[in-house]
Structure 1
Amino acid sequence: MKFHLFFCVLLLFCALPEAQCQLRAVSERVSLDDSSSIAQQKRIRKLIAFPNVNKIPYYQDKKKLQSIVKLAKNDKQEALYPQLYQYVREFGIDNFYKDNQLLWQLAVLEEQKGDTLAAILLYKLVLKHYREGVNLSLVREQIKKLPVENKDDYVPLKYYYELVEYRKEIDTLRPPQGVYLNMGTEINSNAGDYGPALSPDNSTLFFTTKRNVIKQGLKERENEDLMYSENESGYWMPAKALEGINSPYNEGSATVSPDGNQLVFTRCGSPDGQGSCDLFISDRTEDGGWSTARNIGKAVNSIYWDSHPSFSHSGDTLFFSSDRLGGFGMTDIYFTYKNNDGEWASPKNMGPVINTRGSEVSPFYHPAHDVLYFSSNGQLLNFGEFDIYKSYRLDNIWGEPQNIGPLVNGKGSEFYFTIDSQSQNLYYARSVEDKMANLDLYSFPLPMEAQPLATTYLKGTLKNEETGEPFSNGIVSIIDLDNGVEVAPKFLRADGSFEFQLINNNNYLIVIQGDEFFRLEEIFFLEGDKEIHRKVASVNSRLKFENMKFDNGKAELKTSMFADLDKMIDFLLDNPDFKLKIEGHTDSDGDPKFNLDLSQRRADAIKAYLVEFGKLDKDRIEAIGYGSSKPIVEEVTEQDKQLNRRVEFNIVRQ
Structure 2
Amino acid sequence: MRKIYTLPFLLLLFLLPTLCNAQLKQIPLESGPEVKATKTAPSQAMHLGFPNLNKIPYYRDSKKLAEIQRLEKKKQYAQALPRLEAYVRSFGIQNFYKDTNLLWRLGQLYERQGRMEQAMEVYRLVLKHHRTDVRQVQSYYDSLEQNTKDYYVPLSYYYELVEYRKSLSTYKPPRGVYLNMGNGINSPYEDYGPTLSAENNKLIFTSKRNIQGQGLEDKVNEDLFYSDGSGDFWSEAQSFGKPINSIYNEGSATLSRDGKTLYFARCESPDGYGNCDLYKATLQPDGTWHEIENLGPNVNTSAWDSQPTLSPNEDTLYFASDRLGGFGLSDIYYTYKMKSGGWAPAKNMGPVINTRQSEVSPFYHPKYKVLYFSSRGQLFNFGDFDIYKTYLVGGRWQEPRNIGPLVNGRGSEYYFTIDSQSKNLYYARSEESDIKNLDLYSFPLPMEAHPLAVTKVEGTLRDSVSNRPLTGIISIIDLDNGIEISSKYIRPDGTFAFNLIDNARYMMIIQSPDFFTIERELALKQDTSFQIMATVIDHNIPLVFQNIEFDPNESTITADMHNILDEVAFFLVENPSFRLEIAGHTDAAGDPDFNKVLSQDRADAIMYYIQQKVRIEEGRIDAYGFGSTKPLREEKTEEDRRINRRVEFRLIKPTLQGRGIDR
Task: Identify the residue that residue 622 of structure 2 maps to in structure 1.
Answer: 622
Mapped contact 2:178–2:407 kept (Cα < 8 A): no
Distance 1:438 1:326 in 2: 31
Matched with 1:575 is: 575
The change in CA–CA distance for 1:129 and 1:5 in structure 2 (over 3 A counts) is: closer
Q: Secondary structure at the match of 1:601?
A: helix
Q: Bigger shift: 511-520 or 571-580? A: 571-580
In the alignment, which residue of structure 1 is the partner of 2:84?
84
Q: Write the distance in 2 (CA, Å) between the matches of 1:441 and 1:82.
A: 49
- Determine the structure 2 residue equivalent to 1:183: 181
The residue number in structure 2 matching 1:146 is 145
Is the contact made by 1:167 and 1:574 (CA closer than 8 Å) also made in structure 2?
no
What's 2:527 paired with?
A: 529
Paired residue secondary structure (2:516): coil
- Give 2:70's aligned residue: 70
Q: Report the TM-score when normalising by structure 2.
A: 0.90
Q: Distance in 2 between matches of 1:372 and 1:624?
A: 62
Q: Any conservation in 2 of the 1:68–1:80 contact (CA below 8 Å)?
A: yes
User: Following the alignment from structure 1 to structure 2, what is the Cα–Cα distance between the partners of residues 462 and 510?
Assistant: 12
Q: Distance in 2 between matches of 1:53 and 1:88?
A: 11
CA separation of 1:644/1:566 partners in 2, compared to 1, >3 Å: closer, same or farther?
same
Any conservation in 2 of the 1:635–1:641 contact (CA below 8 Å)?
yes
The correspondence for 1:238, drawn from 236, 239, 246, is 236
Q: Which amino acid aligns with 1:199?
A: S
Shift of 1:540: 2.3
Deviation at 1:66, TM superposition (A): 0.6
Compared CA separation, residues 177 and 571, structure 1 to 2 (3 A) = farther
Contact 1:306–1:322 under 8 Å retained in 2: yes
Worse overlay, 48-57 or 373-382: 48-57
Alignment of 1:387-402 (within 5 A): 387-402=386-401
Over aligned residues, Cα RMSD in angstroms?
2.5
Query: Kindly tell me: are residues 385 and 218 of structure 1, through their superposed partners in 2, closer, same or farther at Cα, counting changes over 3 Å?
Result: closer
8 A Cα contact 1:406 1:488, kept in partner: no
2:28 to 4, 7, 20: 20
SS of residue paired to 2:145: coil
- The aligned residue for residue 201 of structure 2 is 203
| Offset at residue 488 of structure 1 (A) | 2.3
Alignment of structure 1 residues 552-591 onto 2, 5 Å? 552-591=552-591
Q: Which residue of 2 aligns with 1:642?
A: 642
Is 1:216 matched with 2:214?
A: yes
Displacement after TM superposition at 1:649 (Å)? 0.6
Q: Check the 8 A contact 1:182/1:443 in 2, yes or no.
A: yes
CA contact (8 A) 1:448 1:485 kept: no
Whether the 8 Å CA contact 1:5–1:252 is kept in 2: the answer is: no
Code of the aligned partner of 2:171: L
Question: Counterparts of 2:483 and 2:550 in 1: how far apart (Å)?
Answer: 45
Shift of 1:33: 7.7
- Structure 1 residues 294 and 609 mapped into 2: Cα distance closer, same or farther (>3 Å)? same
Evaluate the alpha carbon distance shift between residue 35 and residue 274 of structure 1 in structure 2; reply closer, same or farther with a 3 A threshold: closer
Q: Is 1:304–1:322's contact at 8 Å kept on the other side of the alignment?
A: yes
Q: CA deviation at 1:2?
A: 7.3
Measured in 2, the distance between the counterparts of 1:286 and 1:478 equals 50
Kindly report which structure 2 residues correspond to 1:347-386, keeping only aligned pairs within 5 A, or say none: 347-386=346-385
In the alignment, is the contact (CA less than 8 A) between 1:505 and 1:527 conserved in 2?
yes
Cα distance, 1:505–1:167 mapped onto 2, change above 3 Å? closer
> Aligned residues: percent identity?
51
Q: Kindly provide the amino acid, as one letter, of the partner of residue 441 in structure 2.
A: Y
Q: Would the aligned equivalents of 1:388 and 1:403 in 2 still touch at CA under 8 Å? A: yes
**Compared with structure 1, are the counterparts of its residues 254 and 148 closer, same or farther at alpha carbon in structure 2 (3 Å cutoff)?**
farther
Larger deviation, residues 260-269 vs 402-411: 260-269
Q: Which one-letter code corresponds to 2:78 in the other structure?
A: E
Cα offset, 1:16, TM superposition:
7.7
Match in the other structure for 2:294: 295
Q: Is the 8 A contact 2:175 2:443 kept in 1?
A: no
Alignment match, 2:418: 419
Single out whichever of 455-464 and 217-226 deviates more from structure 2.
217-226
Deviates more, 1:214-223 or 1:328-337: 214-223
Aligned mates of 1:156, 1:21 — CA distance in 2: 40
Name the structure 2 match of 1:456: 455
Q: Does the 8 A contact of 2:585 with 2:646 survive in 1?
A: yes
1:340, CA displacement in angstroms? 1.3
**1:10 — aligned with what?**
none
* Partner Cα distance (1:168, 1:2) in 2: 40
The equivalences for 1:240-259 within 5 A come to 240-243=238-241, 244-259=243-258
Q: Which amino acid aligns with 1:508?
A: Y
Instruction: Give the 3 Å change call, closer, same or farther, for CA 232–398 of structure 1 in structure 2.
Output: closer
SS of the counterpart of 1:117? helix
CA separation of 1:4 and 1:548: change in aligned 2, threshold 3 A: closer
Query: How many equivalent residue pairs?
Result: 635
**Kindly tell me: are residues 449 and 484 of structure 1, through their superposed partners in 2, closer, same or farther at Cα, counting changes over 3 Å?**
farther
Residue 269 of structure 1 and its aligned partner are, at CA, apart by: 1.1
The alpha carbon displacement at 1:135 in A equals 4.7
> C-alpha distance in 2, partners of 1:19/1:89?
18
Tell me the distance in 1 between the aligned counterparts of 2:267 and 2:469: 57
Partner residue, 2:284: 285
Query: Shift in Å at residue 196 of structure 1?
Result: 1.0
Residue 404 of structure 2 is aligned to residue 405 of structure 1: yes
Structure 2 partner of 1:160: 158
1:357 is displaced (CA, Å) by 0.6
Which residue in the other structure is 1:110 paired with? Answer: 110
Shift of 1:149: 5.0
Letter of the 1:339 counterpart: M
Counterpart of 2:36, as a letter, is E
Instruction: Work out whether residues 447 and 485 of structure 1, in 8 Å CA contact, stay in contact via their aligned partners in 2.
Output: no
Q: Which structure 1 segments of 5+ residues have no match?
A: 7-14
Q: 2:514 aligns to what? A: 516
The letter of the residue matching 1:517 is: F
Determine whether 1:544 maps to 2:552.
Answer: no
CA distance in 2, matches of 1:16, 1:572: 65
**Contact 1:255–1:311 under 8 Å retained in 2:** yes
- Assess if the C-alpha contact under 8 Å between 1:413 and 1:434 holds in 2: no
- Structure 1: distance between partners of 2:445 and 2:231: 21
- The alpha-carbon deviation at position 210 of structure 1 amounts to 1.2
Partner Cα distance (1:129, 1:51) in 2: 18
Partners of 1:107 and 1:31 lie apart in 2 by 26
In structure 2, relative to structure 1, the CA distance for the partners of 1:298 and 1:197 (3 Å cut) is same
Q: 1:141, CA displacement in angstroms?
A: 2.2
1:146 aligned partner, one-letter code: E
